[in-house]
A = this chain, B = another copy of it.
């Protein structure tokens, strides 16, 4: 019924190199957190399932004194990944709790909404600052890792999104200041 996208995300990262579940999560959180997250309670069981399906193999290894279960993608795993990548992505309009609350905003005082919007702006600024660092890192590795060109495209998305959300929140704050005013160009 529902496609297990977590599986494919994990396969994608494992296609770049073997990893423990713990490191996988760290990698995901450190690279695609902008548009994709996974959590503890799912990565471990799904990796186990993938092992049963023959998409990955696992071995225990002591790296630096610590034991970790290293997962390696198999040919079947690579095939499954590429099969998934061949399919058109299905757009799923996400739920946005801030917008839902704004939609019913007339039930609250404008100061409350202004607070939400200020938070949004702060969040966007933090994202933009973070993305700027990532951008210079990625641009620096472009000659060594051509794949980074694709990562830059997803980063570009994040930067544009943060910028537009900031602009939108600022525009809303302006409009809230003067509720009598309608829309303008």
Interface string of A87-99 (1 = CB under 8 A from B): 0111111111111
Q: B90 to A97, Cβ gap below 8 A?
A: yes
Considering the chains assembled together, what is the distance between the CA atoms of A34 and B101 in angstroms?
A: 14
How many whole Å from A5's CB to the nearest CB in chain B? 6
Identical chains bound together, number: 2
How many chain A residues have a CB neighbour from B under 8 Å?
67
A interface: dominant SS:
helix
Binding site for B on A (CB under 8 A): 5, 8-9, 12, 15, 31-37, 81-82, 85-86, 88-108, 112, 115-116, 119, 123, 135, 139, 142, 146-147, 149-154, 156-157, 160-161, 163-164, 167-168, 171-172, 175, 179, 182-183
